[in-house]
Amino acid sequence: IVAPVIHRRLEDISAIMQRTLDMPPTFDPEVMCALARAKLRQEFLTAEMGVSGCNFAIAETGTICIVTNEGNGRFTSTMPRLYVALMGIEKLVPTVEDAFLQYQALCRSTSGQQTSGYLSMTSGPRKVGDRDGPEEFHVVLLDNGRSRMLADGYGEALMCIRCGACLNTCPVYREVGGHAYGSTYSGPIGSVISPLLAMEVTGADKLPHASSLCGACRDACPVKIDLPRLLLSLRRDQVRAGDAPLFDTMAMKSFVHTMRSRSRYESAGKLASIGSNTMATFSSGNMKFLPPPLSAWTASRDFPPFARRSFRELWRERRSRRAYIAGGRR
């Protein structure tokens, strides 16, 4: 959201620009940036139509607000003859004061700035005497499942201002990156929104499980969306609808059955310890291979074996040793 190309190396970007923009070979960021500006500026100046999203829309004035640090939003909304703004219905705010309150929260939570490089506000087509602006201005309001989210108790997720704070603090997002979510909406908020919106996102039903439920996203969110609660609600809905994966259902039932009995818990722990330590390799001490579906883990990383002795066993030994010492002193 904040730095869309941060996952690419300088060398990768240079190769792309050499291939698509006929750029001479260089790794100088200033040269690359200057070329990109020149090429894009020409496209903006000759474009017949500009299409953008929207950060906020003010109901009392009919104003569309676009927040950027690069200036691309201002080019898109002012240079072409025809301008179209696409926005979800949750982007509407009642007044100018409401918009600026959210604008301040967006800038500070996104990049730590007091204000962004550009705040472009468009309240209609070009009027007589205006030096720039579109001749035609169209706003497209998108529902796309948002009303259903509100009706089903997930309306809290629509409070998102797209600052990216929950992404940066999420341990899952930091490991897998945004593209792994397969959707425009990534990170914890994407794991909530993507399965609920009317979008054809492959694997969206698995996104509610892409979270450790640590709560860091909730703490970082400037509007305090309770993302862990929403993720748990989505998991609950999947189970009630019978849509939970068969392996997950069987695993949870086995877990509950085991945890309800102390003897079963201790027996399962002992079996896991013996089995995992038997499968561990001598070189690394970890397991290199596990049977499906756990093989998805060992395909890319090792799995550490369970401890040879459980905490309960160590605690019993410690208590008996202390009791023996105390008895000997008597």
The CATH number that applies at residue 103 is: 3.40.50
Residue 240 placed within a domain: yes
Give the position of tokens 């909730």: 218
The whole-number pLDDT of residue 328 equals 62
Domain-terminating residue out of 147, 173, 191: 147
Residue 1 placed within a domain: no
Residue 189's nearest CA partner among 219, 232, 158, 212 is 158
Task: Indicate the pLDDT class of residue 6, thresholds 50, 70 and 90.
Answer: confident
Co-location of 197 and 123 in the same domain: no
Whole-angstrom distance, CA of residue 57 vs CA of residue 72: 18
Directed axis angle between helix 262-279 and helix 246-259, to 10°? 120
Cα→Cα distances 267→113, 222, 259, Å: 56, 46, 11
Co-location of 36 and 123 in the same domain: yes
**Residue 185: how many other CB atoms lie within 10 Å:** 24
Residue 4 placed within a domain: no
Q: What is the pLDDT of residues 29-72, one digit of tens each?
A: 999 999 999 999 999 999 999 999 999 999 999 999 999 998 88
Co-location of 156 and 186 in the same domain: yes
Among 41-50, 193-202, 251-260, 302-311, name the one with the lowest average pLDDT: 193-202
Name the CA radius of gyration of the chain, rounded. 27
Residue 49's nearest CA partner among 162, 134, 169, 154 is 134
Co-location of 165 and 68 in the same domain: no
Co-location of 23 and 137 in the same domain: yes
Co-location of 179 and 287 in the same domain: no
Tell me the mean pLDDT in the region 306-311: 90
Residues 72 and 52: beta-carbon distance below 8 Å: no
- Supply the range of the domain harboring residue 282: 270-329
Co-location of 291 and 167 in the same domain: no
Co-location of 18 and 136 in the same domain: yes
Q: What is the pLDDT of residues 289-299, one digit of tens each?
A: 888 878 888 88
The whole-number pLDDT of residue 329 equals 56
Co-location of 136 and 34 in the same domain: yes
For residue 161, pLDDT over 60 is answered with yes
Co-location of 193 and 303 in the same domain: no
Co-location of 163 and 119 in the same domain: no
Number of domains in the chain: 3
For residue 125, pLDDT over 90 is answered with yes
Q: What is the pLDDT of residues 262-286, one digit of tens each?
A: 999 999 999 999 988 888 877 678 8
Task: Indicate the pLDDT class of residue 173, thresholds 50, 70 and 90.
Answer: very high
